[in-house]
Structure formats: structure tokens, C-alpha cells
Chains A and B, each alone.
Chain A
Amino acid sequence: MTTTATSEVISLRDITKAFPGVIANDHVSLDIVSGQVHCLLGENGAGKSTLISILAGMQQPDSGTVAFDGKVVDITSPKVAVDYGIGVVHQHSTLVPAFTVLENLMLGESSMLQNTKRAEQRLGELADLLGVEIDPHALASDLGLGQQQQVEIAKAMWKGSRLLVLDEPTSMLTPQAIEHLGESIARVKAQGLAVVLITHKLREAYAMGDCVTILRGGRNVGHIGVEQLAAYSEAEAQDAILAAMFGDDLAAVGDEASDLAGAAEATREVRAIDFDDRPVRLELRDVSSRGLGRDIEADGVTLTVHEGEILGIAGIDGHGQGALSEVVAGQRPVASGTVFFDGEDITKSGVRSRQQLGVRYVTDDRLHEGTVGSMSVALNLVIKRIGQRPFWKSGRIQPKAVDTEADRLIQEYGIRTPSPETRAGTLSGGNIQKILLARELTNGAKLVVVNKPTYGLDLKTVHLVREILIDFAARGGSVLLLSTDLDELIELSHRIEVISRGSLVGGVVNDGVGTAEKVGHYMTGAIEGTD
């Protein structure tokens, strides 16, 4: 340990937190030392978020203690956490879009009158510290994502933090913005603050972290100390972390483990295809959508997907991906432009006729849109074929036919469910995603739109889902893959288009190194306005 006289240790001891059915944290102990970046690694569901929400005062541990330099403290509410100087930057933006940067930062102030002058001064200090320039009077909604995140960090450090927690800060950033973030973190560390960095990408942990703790199934399964990590070469560190992360599953996942854990730069894993040989399956000509909600609409989108092709759509979350996928699926009306499928104009046809043509859609909202949680797995598997033979005859449901189909799909896709009658909502996210894929890819699917297909899934299922999509394309199916995970896009896509504010701003053929940078360039250019 490089503990100096002034450095402080925040120690978590035997933190246990159980929720109905799961133990999120099982006697987790770890020390966070000031002036160090402590990386917390683990898959989805490993208990990282629970541990953080306990530190942030949003959850109370069932047992266990948090202590600053040996003095036990009770973090009973988020306010107490802030008073202790614990600042958390959550994965998703918590800024109020209609407020200015300064107003957002002053939200936590408790004094009666706003002391704007002092706030501006504090922002100046923090901006210097982070090495960024932030216009205090810009609206939060006008900032790029990287800048928003810097404001979030400033907000977390507003009251003179002793600990800064960053929850998957890089998941939405371009490669360029990640570099900026790394510099800021280094500066914060130099100020003597403790930093906890949550990530599931190995290479970031190695690049930014001083020490690493790995969680699996709610337990602390491995810790690599400061000296140890410094002594390891990158490959050695990777092996050690992978072994801890996957445990016995490592053999099952095999060579994919390092890819899944984001150990190295992603590379394309689908076979190359010759676009000239392949007929165009889906074509959008200058399509704009018109929905009832307030989310961003597709705006003048022109694209083609060939037979057997996976076309990736990259972009920051909430930039019209939902609208684009719904327009193709037929769930959202087209305001202008034309949609062709196998050369046929399907602009006017609805979800059910497109479904029968072979246009399928795996939505990103698995729980509320893709499935009906209160209904059985079997019903959910045939829910898009309501009223059709053989499952319904003259309006009456045929339980036998439904069960046969359900059993077949459960077998084929390895859906782990106690029985076909189990309510879908009680299954894990991965199994729900398998229900969606099974339902959409069966019975004559030709084109499938998948929106964030692996978001929030455990690594084994991520692997499986990607295999299913690659397989589907290899058998001549077309895939329109919308994702915010650049690595995923690079692994799966033949071509990548970048979406920003509902429009496509540039396309890259994924045929070698440098794709990530090119895509990142389009994203930065479009979003930050600094082309």
C-alpha cells in the first residue's frame, strides 16, 4: 500500500444486502484509499450498483459497516452521503435539461437565497481542477454528452468531495471523449480524492485504475492491489481479472471471454459479404416519422439493408433509434418518404401485415413492450400471432397448439423457465430476451430490427444473443442492429451508419482497423459540433 500519512481509507466491511430472491451483496469488504482510482469490475447483476447505492445513501445495508479511517458512519440518506463528501455520477444523466449548468449545480443548495456569485466561483475552481471549460449559463440540454458528464462530475464534487464514484462513465462516450474523461480523472486523483470507477471493460480498468476489485454474484471474488497491478503486464492483469470475473464459467465462454469483457479493441466477427451479389431487402428513402410522444423522430433517413447483411446504427442513446426501429416495424406512422421491403412499397402497412411478410422487431424495452410480464411464457411466445391458426380457431384459443409451439421454442432457444405456464415477468432479463428472439426469428423471419439487443444482460447471454444474430445473417437473414455499444457494432456489423438527432450523419464500411475512430469522429462531429 502506498498509504501516506494524509491519505484516508474508506473501508466497507461485510456489506450484505438482500432483495427478494437475490443476495445483491454478500459480505463484500473493500478499502477505498484517497488518491487512488479503484476500479470495480463485474458483469451485470454482480452487485456493483447495489454497493454504490449503499455508499450513496440510497439503500441501507442489511448488515455490515462503512467507516472513514476506522470511524464507523451511518449513511442513512443521500443527503448524509453528500455531507460526508461522497459524490456519485450515475450512468444516466440526472441533469435537468431545461436548467442552466449553474442552476443544475445549485439544486442541492439548502440556503434560502441563491448565492450565484459564490456558485460561479466554485464552478470555476472545479473546471480548473477537471481541466475543462464549462459555460455556467448554457442550458444542460444544449451540452454534448461528454460535457454533460463533466458537469455531472462537477456536481458530484460540488461540496468538496472526499470520494467520487463514477458508474460506467464510458458506456455512452465516443473514444475521443473517453480520453478527455481519463485526463479529468487523473487530475481529480492528483487532488487527493478517492475515485471509484465502475466499468465492465477490462482495458479501461487497466488504463485508468490503480487497483481493481472484481465482484461476481454479489461477492468480492478478487482484488488486485496497487503494486500487483503495476507489476503485471497488461496480459497478466487480464488473465487474473478474467479468471476472477468468470470463475468456473471461463471454460464455457472460452476464447470469447476476453472479447466480452472488452479486454482488447473489438474486431469484426461476421464473415464478409459481397454487397453486389445480394439483393436489397429493406430500403428507406428519405423517411421521416411522426409519433405522438416527445421523443426524437427519424428525420429524412435513407438506408438499405441487403440480404444476409447486418447493418449497424451507432449513436448516443435517445437520438432517434426508437423512432427508426418503430418505423421499420410499422409501429410508428411515416410522415414522409417510402419504405420498401423486397422491392415492395410497405409504407402504409401495419405491424401485423409486416410481421407476416417477415419484418420482425426485437424492442429494447423487453419488460413493458416486448413481453407482457403477467402472462405466461407460452402466450408471450405466440402473442404476435393472436387469432391465427393453429393457435386460435374461430377466435378460440387452442391450448395444445400453443403449448407445442412453446415447448419447441423453449427447447430451441434454451429458455430457462420452470414451465411454459410461468409468468414471463418472473424470468431473468436474459431469458426474456431469448423469448423475444425466439418469437421474432421464427416462422419466416427475413429482416429483424434489434434495438440494444444485449443491454443489461449477463455476459453469457450477450455472447449467445450475438451468436444468434450472426447465425441468422449467415442463413440469409437481414439485421438492422441499433446499439449504443460501439464494440458490439464493430463485432457484428458489415457496415455502420451513425445516427444523430434522428438523421444519419455518416456511414463506415466495417472492413478493418480504425472503424471505432471513424464512427467516433462522426458522432463527435454531429454531437459536439466540433467537426
Chain B
Amino acid sequence: MNETSTAQRFAQGFVRSVVPVLLALIVSGLIMLAIGSSPLEFFAGVWKYGITGTNWQRSLSLMAPLLIVAIGLIVAFRGQLWNLGYNGQYLLGAVTASGLGPILFDVLPAFLATIVIFVVAVLVGAVWSLIPAILKARYGTNEIITSLVMSFIAVGVVNLLIKGIFKDPAVSTPQTAVIGDDYLLPFIPGTEIHIGFVVAIALAIVAQYVLSRTSFGLRVDIFGASPKAARHVGLNSTWMVILLFALSSGLIALAGSVDILGQFAYQRADWDPRYGDAVMPLVFLARFRPVAAIPFVAFYAVLATGGTLASQQAGLNVDFLLVIVGLILLFMTITEYLGNRRQLGQSYLPAGLRRTVLQPFRKESERTSA
């Protein structure tokens, strides 16, 4: 492929990724107007609380779990496995850190305890994904449903753990014991961004390399493109499903433990940040490329960090953020549809609609040409 067309493709990918975000922001502004809030005040607030002063450091800290969740989703989605159990997997990883943390930091050096927690979190996530993975590989069960159901179960199990064996007896509310500041992940020198951020960026780069340059990445892509082709070239689909699910789920669980050890230090029952819901459309915008996901995740991190306060000021609910995410998803679908039709040189209008719309004009032209 020559250079101009590579540049063209890049430009096209850029347009297709950025346009939906812009449209979503514009339409969400209109919705704000319609319900009587000021969009300008809201977006100014996002800027103020998300970026200015030291707020950008809070945004970057939030990026750590978001980006790791994104990588986890990408690993599964590249193989066309739709792991939607991310909320449960994330909470399982989080509860591993918040439950084991107070115990392990007492007996092990902080460094070692942290490593142990991360490893256990990844394993817990991976094991939890085995059921949907095996059902998928063996019986072709739809993994969207099984992983989602396993997620509900995980949320319940996590709450039981926090209200049960991991509960801090010193306080009356159901929550885990707070991990001391000394044991939390260190900050990047000179900032208040914990090194989870560095870990996330490093993971994104490694994942990008593995997926695009190695034989394993090619196998994942073949499997994703066509399971039939995968069988044809001699890949073991059963192992592929189990491995991808385990990697995906393990990474998302890791995000949970990083978030606890880097940010929250303890976990309350019924707490569920639902990062995956917000990250999922971003992953599609990044076309399943880990490095390309970084700017989108950064954008959302700013929106979420600033938006929490800004929405309160603008008289909106925090849930409005998910409205914006939903709009991104919607416009992404539309942009994609139009882009595909353009590529095929077809009209933007669906065939039936086009005929109706163009009917009066066509009669005219036929008459003149006759």
C-alpha cells in the first residue's frame, strides 16, 4: 500500500473516531439546554475541575484503572469474544486488594505484598472467566449472556465478602479496613499521580506490540476474523477462547486492585464505579488498538473527573456523564454506517428512503430526458 493511501486511511480513521465524540458533545449540550441547564457552565466546569491547577493529576490517576480495563476489553474483543462481565471482574480484583491488603501488609514487606495482591487479583479474575469461556468453547453458548450473569454473581459475592469476612469491625458501615498511606502505591515523584498510571501506559504499549507484531497477535486476529479460518490453520479454538477470556478478565481485575491500592485504600459495600460501561465505546473508537485507546481514555478521564463536580454545579445528575457516553456510541454507529456506504460509493440514504425522497425529482428528469 503506498504512502498516500496510508495517510488517507489514517485520516479517515481519525475522522471516524473524533466526529462521533464532537457530535455527542454538541447534542449533549442541546439536551442540557432543553432541561434548563447551561452547557457552557458545564463544559467550563469540566475544564476547571478536570484540568486546571493540580486537577489534571486527578484525571491521570483515574486513567490508570480505565486504561487497564480498556486493554482487558481489547484483548477479548480482538478475538470477537464479547466479555461484558467487566463490572464483576473489576470488583473481584478490587476486593482482593481491599480484603487481602490489610492482612498482607501486616505480615509481608509492602513491595512483596503488593505483588502478591496483583497476582492473586489477576488469578481471581481469570478463574472467574473460566465458566463463560468453557461454555463458549465447548458448547458455543453466547458469552455475552454468560459473562454478564457471572458479573451479577460476582457483584453479589463481593458485597457478601465486604459485609462478612472482610468487614472492618471498627466501623459500623459495611466496608473494609483502610490500608495505611505508607502501603499504597507510590506517587510519581513531584506529583500526586500513583504509579498505576505508569503501569497502565506500559501495559498499553506491551499489548499493542504483542497484538500487532507477534505470532500470538496474528493468531488472535485470525481467530477474531473467522473461527473457521482459525480451525483451518490449525489453531486450538478451545484454548484460544479460554486464554483470551482469562487474559481479559485478569487484566480487568488487575485494574480493580490497582484502583484500590492507588486511589481508594478501602472498599465499601455496594460500591461499583462501572468503569467498563464508560470504556467500552471508547475501545470501539480506538478500533481495538491499545495505544490508540490512550487519548480516548484520557478524554473520558477528564470528563469524568471534572464532570462530577461540574454536573452538580450545572444542576445535573452525575449520571449525565453516561448520557454523553451513550451518545458517543450512537453517533459512532451512524458515522460508521455512513463511512461504509461512502467507501462503497453508495448513497447515504437507505434504498427505500432514497426512492421516496427522490421520486419527485426523478419524474422531472425523466420527463426532460424523454
Show the binding face of A for B, using Cβ within 8 Å: 20, 292, 330-331, 350-352, 355, 361, 363, 365, 368-375, 379, 383-384, 386-387, 392, 395-397, 419, 421-422
Residues from chain B with a CB closer than 8 A to the CB of A373 are 225
List the B residue with the shortest CB-CB distance to A388.
B215
**CB of B346 within 8 Å of the partner chain:** yes
Q: Given A387-B215, A395-B216, A396-B214, does the pair A331, B231 have CB atoms closer than 8 Å?
A: yes
Whether the pair A369, B214 counts as a contact (CB closer than 8 A) is no
Check A368–B234 contact: CB distance below 8 A: no
Q: Considering the chains assembled together, what is the distance between the CA atoms of A355 and B235 in angstroms?
A: 12
Chain A residue nearest to B2 in the complex (CB)? A419
By the criterion CB–CB under 8 Å, are A369 and B228 in contact?
yes
For the complex of A and B, 10 pairs with smallest distance between CB atoms:
A351-B234, A352-B234, A387-B215, A369-B228, A20-B344, A372-B225, A421-B1, A395-B214, A369-B232, A392-B215
Q: Are A386 and B215 closer than 8 Å at their CB atoms?
A: yes
Closest to B223 in A: A372
Pick the most buried of B140, B219, B231, B344: most chain A CB atoms within 10 A of its CB: B231
* 18 A-B residue pairs with CB within 8 Å: A20-B345, A331-B231, A331-B232, A331-B234, A351-B234, A368-B229, A369-B231, A370-B232, A373-B225, A375-B221, A375-B222, A375-B225, A383-B222, A386-B233, A395-B214, A397-B214, A397-B218, A421-B1
Which one, B214, B221, B232, contacts A351 given CB within 8 A? B232
Q: Once the chains are docked, how many angstroms separate the CA of A163 from the CA of B346?
A: 32
Given contacts A20-B346, A387-B215, whether A350 and B234 have CB atoms under 8 Å apart is yes
- Additional A-B contacts beyond A368-B226, A379-B218, A395-B215 (9; CB < 8 A): A20-B344, A351-B231, A351-B234, A363-B232, A372-B225, A375-B222, A383-B229, A392-B215, A397-B215
Contact mask for chain B residues 302-346; partner A; CB cutoff 8 A; 1 contact, 0 none: 000000000000000000000000000000000000000000111
- Chain B residues with CB under 8 Å of A368's CB are 226, 228-229
Residue pair A397, B232 in contact (C-beta under 8 Å): no
Q: Which residues from B are CB-within-8-Å of A371?
A: 229
Q: Which residues on A sit within 8 Å (CB–CB) of B363?
A: none
Residues of A within 8 A of B345 (CB): 20
In the bound complex, what is the Cα–Cα distance between A421 and B1 (angstroms)? Answer: 6
The residue on A at minimum CB distance from B212 is A397
* Docked pose: A421 CA to B222 CA in angstroms: 16
- Known A-B contacts A330-B234, A350-B234; the reply to A386 vs B228 at CB < 8 A is no
Interface centre among A330, A363, A369, A371 (most CB of B within 10 A): A369
Is B213 an interface residue, CB under 8 A from the partner?
Answer: yes
- Contact assessment for A397 and B233 in the assembled complex, using a CB-CB cutoff below 8 Å: no
**A421 to B345 CA separation, bound complex (whole angstroms):** 23
A453 CB to nearest B CB, Å: 15
Which chain B residue has the least Cβ–Cβ distance from A395? B214
Identify the closest chain B residue to A365 (Cβ): B228
Set A372, A384, A396, A421: member contacting B234, Cβ < 8 A? A384
- For A375, the chain B residues whose CB sits under 8 A away are 221-222, 225
Is there contact, CB below 8 Å, between B219 and A386? yes
* B218 contacts across to A, CB distance below 8 A: 379, 383, 386, 397
- Chain B min CB distance to A181 (Å): 34
Question: What residues of chain B lie closer than 8 Å to A392, measured between beta carbons?
Answer: 214-215
Q: Which residues of B contact A352 (CB under 8 A)?
A: 234
Are A361 and B234 in contact, CB atoms less than 8 angstroms apart?
A: no
- CB-based contact B214/A419 at 8 Å: no
Least distance between A399 CB and chain B CB atoms (Å): 10
Question: What residues of B have a CB within 8 angstroms of the CB of A374 in the complex?
Answer: 225
User: Are A372 and B228 in contact, CB atoms less than 8 angstroms apart?
Assistant: no
**A-facing residues in B195-223 (Cβ within 8 Å):** 213-216, 218-219, 221-222
CA of A330 to CA of B218, assembled, Å: 21
Q: List B residues 284-313 near A (Cβ within 8 Å).
A: none
Residue with the greatest number of chain A CB neighbours at <10 A, chosen from B140, B229, B345: B229
In the assembly, what is the distance between CA of A371 and CA of B219, in Å? Answer: 13
Complex Cα distance, B50 from A79, in Å, reads 60
Chain B residues within an 8 Å CB radius of A365: 228
The complex places the Cα of A365 from the Cα of B227 at a distance, in Å, of 13
Most buried by A among B140, B214, B236: B214
Determine how close the nearest CB of chain B comes to the CB of A96; give it in whole angstroms. 24
In the complex, what distance in Å separates the CA atom of A215 from the CA atom of B232?
37
Chain B residues lying within 8 Å of A379, measured Cβ to Cβ, are 218
Residues on B with beta carbons closer than 8 Å to the beta carbon of A361 = 232
Question: Are B1 and A419 in touch, CB under 8 angstroms?
Answer: yes
User: A384 vs B232: C-alpha distance in the bound complex, in angstroms?
Assistant: 8
| Contacting pair A369 B229 (CB below 8 A) | yes
Chain B residues with Cβ under 8 A from A351's Cβ? 231-234
Partner of A292, one of B140, B213, B226, B234: B140
Q: How far is the CA of A421 from the CA of B228 in the complex (A)?
A: 23
Query: Closest approach, in angstroms, between the C-beta of B153 and any C-beta of chain A?
Result: 27
In Å, the complex CA distance between A374 and B224 comes to 11
Residues from chain B with Cβ under 8 Å of A350 in the complex: 234, 236
User: Which chain A residues lie closer than 8 Å to B236 at the CB level?
Assistant: 350
Contact check, A370 vs B234: say whether CB atoms are below 8 A apart: no
* Interchain CB contact under 8 A, A369 and B234: no
Contact yes or no, A397 B346, CB < 8 A: no
For the complex formed, measure the closest distance between the CB of B339 and the CB atoms of chain A, giving whole angstroms. Answer: 14
User: In the assembled complex, which residues on chain B have CB atoms less than 8 Å from the CB atom of A330?
Assistant: 234
**In the complex, what residue of chain A is closest to B234 when comparing beta carbons?**
A351
Report the Cα distance A375→B215, complex, angstroms. 14
Q: How far is the CA of A313 from the CA of B39 in the complex (A)?
A: 71
B216 — which chain A residues lie within 8 A by C-beta?
395
Distance (whole angstroms) from the CB of A402 to the closest CB of chain B: 11
CA distance A307 to B302 in the complex (A): 69
Min CB gap A225→B, angstroms:
30
Q: A351-B233, A375-B221, A419-B1 are known contacts. Are A397 and B213 too (CB-CB below 8 A)?
A: yes
Which of B1, B221, B233 gathers most chain A CB within 10 Å? Answer: B233
A200 to B281, CA, bound (A): 50
CB-defined contacts of B214 to chain A, threshold 8 Å = 392, 395-397
Say how far A136's CB is from chain B's closest CB, in angstroms. 37
Question: Bound state CA distance, A527 and B215, in angstroms?
Answer: 46
Cα distance, A396 to B232, chains bound together (Å)? 22
Bound CA–CA A396/B217 (angstroms): 10
Cα of A84 to Cα of B221 in the assembled complex, Å: 49
Q: How far is the CA of A421 from the CA of B5 in the complex (A)?
A: 12
**Nearest Cβ on chain A to B5's Cβ, whole angstroms:** 10
Docked pose: A512 CA to B215 CA in angstroms = 50
A293 to chain B: closest residue by CB: B140
Residues A422 and B228 in contact, CB atoms below 8 Å apart: no
Looking at the assembled complex, report how far the CB atom of B275 sits from the nearest CB atom of chain A, in whole angstroms.
Answer: 30
How far apart are the CA atoms of A441 and B218 in the complex, in Å? 22
A383 pairs with B233, CB closer than 8 A: yes
Query: Which residue of chain B is the closest to A423 with respect to CB atoms?
Result: B1
Q: Which residues of B contact A419 (CB under 8 A)?
A: 1
Chain B 119-141 against A: per-residue CB contact (8 Å), 1 yes, 0 no?
00000000000000000000010
A379 to B221, CA, bound (A): 12
Closest CB in chain B relative to A35 CB, distance in Å? 33
Neighbouring B residues of A331 by C-beta, 8 Å: 231-232, 234
A392 to B214, CA, bound (A): 8
A372 and B215 in contact, given A20-B346, A292-B140, A350-B234 (Cβ under 8 angstroms):
no
Provide the residues of chain B in CB contact with A422, threshold 8 Å: 1
* B220 shortest CB reach to chain A, Å: 11
Q: How far is the CB of B240 from chain A (nearest CB, A)?
A: 13
* Chain B nearest Cβ from A443, distance in angstroms: 14
CB-defined contacts of B229 to chain A, threshold 8 Å = 368-372, 383
- Please name all residues of chain B whose beta carbon is closer than 8 Å to the beta carbon of A396 when the two chains form the complex: 213-215
